[in-house]
Amino acid sequence: MDTDWNAGLQAVAVLEEPTRRRLYEYVVAQAEPVSRDDAAAALAIPRTTAAFHLDRLTEEGLLATCFERRTGRTGPGAGRPAKLYHRSDTEIEISLPERQYAVAGHLLAAAIEDAEATGGSPRAAVDRLAREYGESLGRAGAGLPVLEILQRHGFEPRLDGDDIALGNCPFRRLAADYTQLVCTMNLNLLAGLVSATGTPHEAQLAPAPNHCCVRLVSSAGG
């Protein structure tokens, strides 16, 4: 869940420029890395224009580069290796409101592996791994206000008296179809986060319209 939403948005925004988007589509459609000359010829644009846009796509993490000699020759006189472009390994996902289905998938898959290896309950493994993951988020955000940590991970926290209401469920579609499993997973995740940050709140299931199924209830003075 610790994704840089702003960086992802910027990366996607660079594709708004039509020539840049066509270059990206051309590069990722090829089985092998392509050169600036390849791209310029394919799109019938000047080489300098292709180079500019390809390098911008690389700067934003949408493409990656490698170098190789296209002639197959080596040694003195073989010439300089050509700069080639290909799809990067970076995965960029933008959703409004923010969703974190990859996190849920990782936790559920890890729980199945855990249960198969130990003979334990898959659901118990989900709950334990979710709490551990929440604790890791809390530790990673050490020193930050809990509201900021929750905001960074897509929960859209809002103060409601002494409590913290969560305006967004990052697992909404999954929770709609598998309510008990996913909401309990989320409860344990947030319980782990709260525990690791030491904030005076307790994660409780409290489904409400247009909110996450979990609410952080103040335990101060209780």
Q: What is the CATH number of the domain that holds 193?
A: 3.30.1380.20
Burial of 4 from C-beta contacts in 10 A (0-12 / 13-18 / 19+): exposed
Within a domain: 165:
yes
8-state DSSP, 75:
S
Whether the CA torsion 165, 168, 170, 173 is positive or negative: it is: positive
Same domain, 110 and 212: yes
Higher-pLDDT residue of 221 and 123 is: 123
pTM over 0.85: no
Within a domain: 93:
no
Within a domain: 171:
yes
What does the pLDDT read at residue 1? 46
Same domain, 76 and 24: yes
Same domain, 122 and 205: yes
Same domain, 18 and 67: yes
Same domain, 28 and 136: no
Same domain, 135 and 207: yes
Within a domain: 140:
yes
Same domain, 21 and 127: no
Nearest to 169 by CA among 144, 199, 190: 190
Looking at 87, 113, 140, the residue that finishes a domain is 87
Per-residue pLDDT tens for 190-220?
Answer: 999 999 999 999 999 999 888 899 999 998 7
What does the pLDDT read at residue 145? 94
Give percent above pLDDT 70 in the chain: 87
Within a domain: 50:
yes
What does the pLDDT read at residue 114? 95
Looking at 87, 114, 145, the residue that finishes a domain is 87
Local confidence band at 149 (pLDDT 50, 70, 90 cut-offs): very high
What does the pLDDT read at residue 100? 87
Mean pLDDT rounded to a whole number for the chain: 88
Q: Is the pLDDT at 2 greater than 50, yes or no?
A: no
What does the pLDDT read at residue 209? 86
Same domain, 105 and 195: yes
Within a domain: 187:
yes
Per-residue pLDDT tens for 66-119?
Answer: 998 766 555 555 567 889 999 988 776 666 567 888 899 999 999 999 999 999
**Cis bond upstream, residue 97 (ω within 30):** yes
Within a domain: 92:
no
Is-contact 199 146, C-beta < 8 A?
Answer: yes
Per-residue pLDDT tens for 124-140?
Answer: 999 999 999 999 999 99
Is-contact 164 157, C-beta < 8 A?
Answer: yes
**Averaged pLDDT for residues 156-160:** 93
Q: Which CATH number do you get for residue 73?
A: 1.10.10.10
Nearest to 81 by CA among 145, 33, 113, 125: 33
How many domains does one find in the chain?
A: 2
Same domain, 105 and 214: yes
Burial of 200 from C-beta contacts in 10 A (0-12 / 13-18 / 19+): middle
Same domain, 107 and 38: no
Structural domain boundaries, residue 72: 5-87
Same domain, 139 and 72: no
Same domain, 112 and 197: yes
Looking at 87, 111, 139, the residue that finishes a domain is 87
Within a domain: 94:
no
